[in-house]
Structure 1
Amino acid sequence: MNICVFCSAADLDDRYVAPAREFAKMIGKGGHALVWGGSDTGLMKVMADGVQEAGGRLIGVSVEFLAHKARAGADEMVVTKDLAERKAQLLARADAVVVMVGGTGTLDEATEILELRKHGMHRKPVVLLNTAGFYDGLKEQFQRMEAERFLPIPLADLVFFAEDGAAALAYLEQRAGAGA
């Protein structure tokens, strides 16, 4: 399975790095490929290192203005002209999506992927990996959206909130086996 992971390119606290490293190893040991933003910095680098060290493949999708940060040695690296094309290429190469901790770029990617799923533009499973409670507030907001009927589909059909990498991967493998 090609698992697209959206995450920060920033250097982060170990409470985010250690779980990311473990999740990356699970992806690689499971024989899965990491589809990611292609950066060789921050949490993106942690993910790429862990997947590659565990025997997984790396499929990067960078963007022209960040190409100087792209990881050398990825199995595949695509460089797009802008962020919109980058998001489209990431989704096209993925069988599933995991949103890890990140800033506004990660949030932008997550909301676009969820909006496309909501409208039936893709059926790929989407997981928000809630490391250290990072997405507790967002989860509460989504629950409110569902309760107040802002979501046309049940929240459980839109996104799965996982507390750790093992739960995220188990969900994705189950959904992949069920044809999502």
Structure 2
Amino acid sequence: MSSIQSVCVYCGSSDFVADSYKDAARRTGEQLAANGYDIVYGGGRVGLMGIVADAGLKGGAKVVGIIPDHIKRYEVDHTGLTELIVVESMHIRKQMMVERSDAFIILPGGIGTLDEMFEIITWRQLRLHGKPVVIINTDGFWNPLVALMEHMTETGFMRKPNLPGADDRLYHVVDSVEEAVDLLARLKEAAHKVQTDRM
């Protein structure tokens, strides 16, 4: 991890969720914009995805959406983004989202969000990237999953991380958007210090 400028947000596309999750999505877009981050996400205009994008755009952030053509055909793509990239497949979408991002924030979501979360954590464990992964545990939404991952670690199916650099955790769990943005700032500063010390 060298610097954090662009943050990928993984989250749900459902509109039929509690207001607390929608509020967390709105604050994520607002806080990332207020702190000068660009936003990368899945390109949708519905659910938490659309809320993050709209709040980020309103706050002046550059918001890049990456959406597969087969999803765009359902007319759920966001047409007001800074940049909308249409790709051929989900695999290309996920790869491009990783390449265009310096850190990852995970909000509540469904099975698609789980897929993205596990892939980005797995890739970090395999050292395919060294970018921070931050899970925002709004209203304890991720508690069962966090407990499962801790259980997998305790039973030997998931290794404790031993990663080089300023951030040696596979993932971070925080309770609020503000904690997530503060954490990104600290990790950015720590990474800069490590780089400076090596010079």
TM-score range, shorter chain: over 0.9
* Partner of residue 66 from structure 1, selected from 71, 78, 81: 71
- Map of 1:16 onto structure 2: 21
The aligned residue for residue 96 of structure 1 is: 103
Q: Residue 115 of structure 1 aligns with which residue?
A: 122
Deviations 1:134-160 (A, max 9, x none): 100111111112222222333971000
1:4 equivalent to 2:8? Answer: yes
Unaligned runs of 5+ in 1: none
* Equivalent position of 2:165 in the other structure: none
Are positions 1:157 and 2:169 aligned together? yes
Q: Is the 8 A contact 2:67 2:77 kept in 1?
A: yes
- Choose 119-128 or 7-16, whichever is displaced more: 7-16
1:68-127 per-residue CA deviation (whole Å, 9 max, x = no partner) reads 321112111111111111110111100000111110000000000011000000000001
Structure 2 unmatched runs, 5+:
163-167, 193-199
| TM-score of the two chains, using structure 2 as the length reference | 0.86
Distance in 2 of aligned mates of 1:92 and 1:62 = 15
Identical positions, percent: 30
RMSD of aligned Cα (Å) = 1.5
Aligned residue pair count: 180
Alpha-carbon separation, structure 1, partners of 2:87 and 2:160: 32
Q: Does 1:55 align with 2:60?
A: yes
Question: Which sits farther off after the overlay, 17-26 or 31-40?
Answer: 17-26
Question: TM-score when scaled to structure 1?
Answer: 0.95
- The aligned counterpart of 1:86 is 93
Of residues 127, 145, 154, the one that matches 1:147 is 154
- Match of residue 76, structure 1, among 74, 83, 94: 83
